[in-house]
Amino acid sequence: MTHLRAHVLGAAAGGGLPQWNCGCRNCCAARDGTIPAASQSSVAFSANGSDWAVLNASPDIRYQIAASPPLHPTGPRESPIRSVVLTNGDIDHVVGLLTLREKQTFRLYMTSAIAEVLDENPIFRALDPKFVTREIVALGQNVEIADGLFAEMFVVPGKVPLYMEGETVDTELEGEQTVGVSLRAGDKQAFYLPGCAKVTEALADRMTGAELVFFDGTVWENEEMIRLGVGAKTGARMGHMSMAGERGSMAAFEPLGVARKIFVHMNNTNPVFDPTSPERKQVEASGWEVAFDGMEVEL
């Protein structure tokens, strides 16, 4: 019998929890063990429990693999990781590729726009093409990313990576620079969207009645980082929806009938990291879960 299995490698957004230079309440609590720490955003999927696809290669991937027995090597230079899929070109989603440069065979799936980002930086040539096959995937194309596990990339409103921003930034750009991924194993399906600026009508239609959705949970409310004095940008300016509010993701998903909804990619300032916070209780009362490193889900 086919199962769709997900293993959360990292639940936090860029910088992780605690972030190295941050003394906010969450980061201090994570350092002293009051709340769990979290590494940077990535989830691995499998259809059989032995062949895995990693969605986004975070800067923490070496530690994440070490902390995840299903991804441990099965012999000398033998890894169960068959592929890496990129949902955008953000630093926290591509830097981990440099850790995977050790002459290991796997396939790298991405859109043409994300491939251009890698091509423009010569450091990514460290991924030897004799071992790492780059696969350019068109939106809507169905590809087998591990044995029995199929993926389809689709448009998600977002923006270009921070290091590619110009004077004018479209934070709800729809194209190949930010994508969501539909994952299928047999008759089981899940969605992975670690970055999303808006739930459009098309996205709502796609996810209505879904069995499982991992969704962008970067900030609790739009001006969170400004209010805490740790940044000058709103969540929207960074290309992310807030969880709360009339235009937040919890409200957007309420009529969609999704069976299981899990927030991923939380910024270190997000109060839902604290299991005892009122915001966490509100999330759970709304039928959502908050991902944590090592979390496993099976359909």
pLDDT by residue for the chain (299 residues), tens only, comes to 679 999 999 999 999 999 999 999 999 999 999 999 999 999 999 999 999 999 999 999 999 999 999 999 999 999 999 999 999 999 999 999 999 999 999 999 999 999 999 999 999 999 999 999 999 999 999 999 999 999 999 999 998 887 887 878 888 888 899 999 999 999 999 999 999 999 999 999 999 999 999 999 999 998 898 888 888 888 888 889 999 999 999 999 999 999 999 999 999 999 999 999 999 999 999 999 999 999 999 99
35-50 residues labelled b (16+ CB within 10 A) or e (exposed): bebbbbbbbbbbbeee
Based on the structure, what is the number of domains in the chain? Answer: 1
Domain that holds residue 164: 5-298
CB 159 within 8 A of CB 88: no
Write the CATH number for 170.
Answer: 3.60.15.10
Q: Which residues pair with 216 in a beta bridge?
A: 264
Q: Classify residue 132 by burial, with Cβ atoms within 10 Å: 0-12, 13-18, 19+.
A: buried
CA contacts within 13 A on the Cβ side of 91: 7
